[in-house]
Structure 1
Amino acid sequence: MNELAVSVALGVDQKGNKLLLSNQMLNPGAIAGKEGGASPLAPVTLFQTSGGGLQEASRKMTIVSTRKIYVGQVQMIILGEEFARKGVAKVLDYLSRDHEYRKDFFVVIARGAEAQDVLKVFTPLEKTPAYKMSTSLETSSKVWGSTAAVKIDELISAIISKGKDAVLTGIVVAGDTGIGNDKKNVEKILVPSSLKYSGLAVFKKDKLVGWLNEKESKGYNYTQGKIKSTTILLACPEEKNKKLAVELLRTKSETKVTMKENKPTIHIKLKTEGVATDAQCARDFAKPATISELEHLTQSNIKASIMSAVKKTQNVYKSDIFGFGEAVERKYPRYWESVKSDWDQVFSNMQVIVQVESKIHTMFKTTKSFSERMEK
């Protein structure tokens, strides 16, 4: 270990006709400091080199590092948005071939920024920014649902697939970007600069073509069965300025394809179970009619978010991120062979039917709102 520099995160940006490689490495002296003690050293160090390709830039980095660079512990790769829009194939080719890289790290896009800007930010709670980014991505994808924890092997599989396009989560530097590179950033209760995940990047082949907003991102994740739990905010039926919150505890999705007159139709069926966790309006949740009404509102909300994502990818990006092409290939292989070269056009015009079943099984500890209990 005394002879190695351990890399935990990589950043790739476009600089003219070259790539800028940013390598975030652990600083052993700071990481091994006594618990509770403040180390004068930064927990990580950022090395940067440029080259015509990732291989060249990686080898050139040895001229600035006093140790051999070890990439077996890389947790994150951040791709700059400008670089991603020009195509990521050349980087993925290298990463898939190099035996030193494991295939279980996450890939995200620096939204509206460069990857190097993301890697320069000091993060609170966790000593290493790379660990913060990876754990936050996993957690948010499970309990909120607007992000997608995509690993490098999943990204490669989606890009080379003929029937499905790729998505990656966007990450932004929020707040005062100028102070993020200063250790004082994490010495305050309210950090001036922080890293935040924002929306999903839509790819067409290996190029980024646009973004889904939070609502559309959740809609996409519903169809992929990736949302384990999330919260839905609904407007009260009679009081639109007041809100109802439903916590989904389980979701299950199924995608099928049918053929009629040589035209495919996609059927997305989603089943959810949840509880009401917040009610600002006066509703009697002991009544079955109230529960049915809440289930209907939940179904409408989920269906709207799914259709919003479908319409945007069909009409704006013409990118099949849902994998409808793969579903068609499995069910109707002969038809797929006849349309796969023109799948973008078929995908853009195909009918998508969404059916949502929502069950509200139990309520919070009391069936009456807090305002009703105060009045009594």
Structure 2
Amino acid sequence: MKRQCAALALSALLLPLSGCKETFDFLPYGRELDDMALMRTMGVDTARNGVEVTVSSGAQDQGGGQGEGQPTVLRKEAGSISAACLSMQAQGVSYVFYGHVGQFLLGEELARNGVEAALDYVLRDIEMRLESNLYLIRGSRAGDAIEAAAQVNSATDQLESLEADAGLLADCMFRTVEDVMEDLAENGDSFAPALTLNVEEGQLETAGYGLLRQGALAGWAEGESARGVNLLMGWVDADVLEVEVPDMGKAALRVVGAKTQVRPVLTQGMVTGLTLNCKVDANLAEGADGAHLEDPRLREALEAALEERCKLRLEEVLDLCRTLDGDFFQLKTQAGLKEPWHWAAIQAAPSLADLDLQVQVEGRIQRGYNVRDGGE
């Protein structure tokens, strides 16, 4: 029996060498890296007869670190993304390779019509990666944004720079195609980072988040509501709050940590609401007329101001969920994971628009950036 198994295993290993190529058509052809044009950013927009796909390389567009120093930008319309990508092979002497795409951009019009078909392409294509970061282009077409960025450096370079500085952004963080697809599979709702195009400078800039309701763009979280999203998700490394402290003037607080838990509220066994319990840690960065945290009145006033601002931000997030009637941040799922014994009741609960949503915030000032303030 062991000899038979060994023979079968050996046959399987040797089969690719037998010349039966058609048996392995699901594998990509082997190619020399130097003969490939490596695309790094892909954008998809609606078109009259299907979709328009735009791809861009970085400054070095060929394998082996080669290239002309200018990004290669290709643009094609077709009935499907796959057909558009295939037709691009006729636009250059190198083989266009999509396995290095790290940013996947969707234009606003396409996003409003629904993102699932575009995301499904990433899932199914043999070269594309689910780990690619997903962006929604607000107020513009993805292809236009990619071409405008190429006049300065490249969309790839700009987005990689933003991603490298992700910890310094207070109103936007990055999500992969896989992250969004998991949410959509869970309840049909999700969110993705938004970008706008500064036309004069050819720069892509962060613009909060796009909110996806049943797979289609329903609205935007921007400004304080976008910061509320970061607070909800615990992405607060670069968040600075400017607050007014009575009798002590203005102060700047740097938020250094946040953790939000979602719990269900039940009445007679039925879920009637959700409560967000958020714990926020911050440091006193500057201000308060030179006062120090040794003064308990200052610490109490700062913590009260911190709690008030963070509560307002989270309430703006919940207002968007009510207004757009979407569980964009999987609040029900979070509540179910926190109290799994109520899972069935939570899943049977009405939409967020019909639930009583409350926010509770506990703020703590850890220390200041003054040696007298010390730490805890």
Shorter-chain TM-score: what band? Answer: 0.7 to 0.9
Match of 1:76 in 2: 103
Contact 1:53 1:91 in 2 (8 A): no
The one of 319, 324, 332 aligned to 1:325:
332
Aligned ranges for residues 1-376 of structure 1 at < 5 Å? 1-26=33-58, 28=60, 41-122=68-149, 128-137=154-163, 139-140=165-166, 142-162=167-187, 165-174=189-198, 176=200, 192-238=201-247, 243-261=250-268, 262-279=270-287, 281=289, 283-314=291-322, 316-327=323-334, 329-330=336-337, 331=340, 332-336=342-346, 338-339=348-349, 343=350, 346-365=351-370
Judged with a 3 Å threshold, the aligned counterparts in structure 2 of structure 1 residues 301 and 309 are, in CA distance, closer, same or farther, namely same
Once the two structures are TM-superposed, the CA of residue 58 in structure 1 deviates from its matched residue by 0.9
Judged with a 3 Å threshold, the aligned counterparts in structure 2 of structure 1 residues 31 and 195 are, in CA distance, closer, same or farther, namely farther
Q: Deviations over 1:72-110 (max 9, x none)?
A: 111101110011101111111111111211221101011
3-state SS of 1:61 partner? helix
Structure number with greater CO (CA < 8 Å, separation at least 6) is: 1
Q: Deviations over 1:146-166 (max 9, x none)?
A: 11311011111111212x621
The unaligned stretches of length 5 or more in structure 1 are: 177-191, 369-376
Judged with a 3 Å threshold, the aligned counterparts in structure 2 of structure 1 residues 358 and 333 are, in CA distance, closer, same or farther, namely closer
**Greater displacement, 62-71 / 227-236:** 227-236
Contact 2:36 2:95 in 1 (8 A): yes
TM-score by length of 1: 0.81
Distance 1:118 1:293 in 2: 45
Q: Deviations over 1:27-51 (max 9, x none)?
A: 54799899xxxx9x45311001101
Identity of aligned residues (%): 17
Judged with a 3 Å threshold, the aligned counterparts in structure 2 of structure 1 residues 288 and 329 are, in CA distance, closer, same or farther, namely closer
Judged with a 3 Å threshold, the aligned counterparts in structure 2 of structure 1 residues 117 and 238 are, in CA distance, closer, same or farther, namely farther
Contact 1:123 1:195 in 2 (8 A): no
Contact 1:225 1:253 in 2 (8 A): yes
3-state SS of 1:120 partner? helix
The unaligned stretches of length 5 or more in structure 2 are: 1-32
Q: Deviations over 1:107-158 (max 9, x none)?
A: 101110111122123479x965314313414533x33331131101111111
Contact 1:236 1:281 in 2 (8 A): no
3-state SS of 2:173 partner? coil
Distance 1:116 1:277 in 2: 41
Task: Indicate the structure (1 or 2) with the bigger Cα radius of gyration.
Answer: 2
TM-score by length of 2: 0.81
Distance 1:303 1:144 in 2: 20
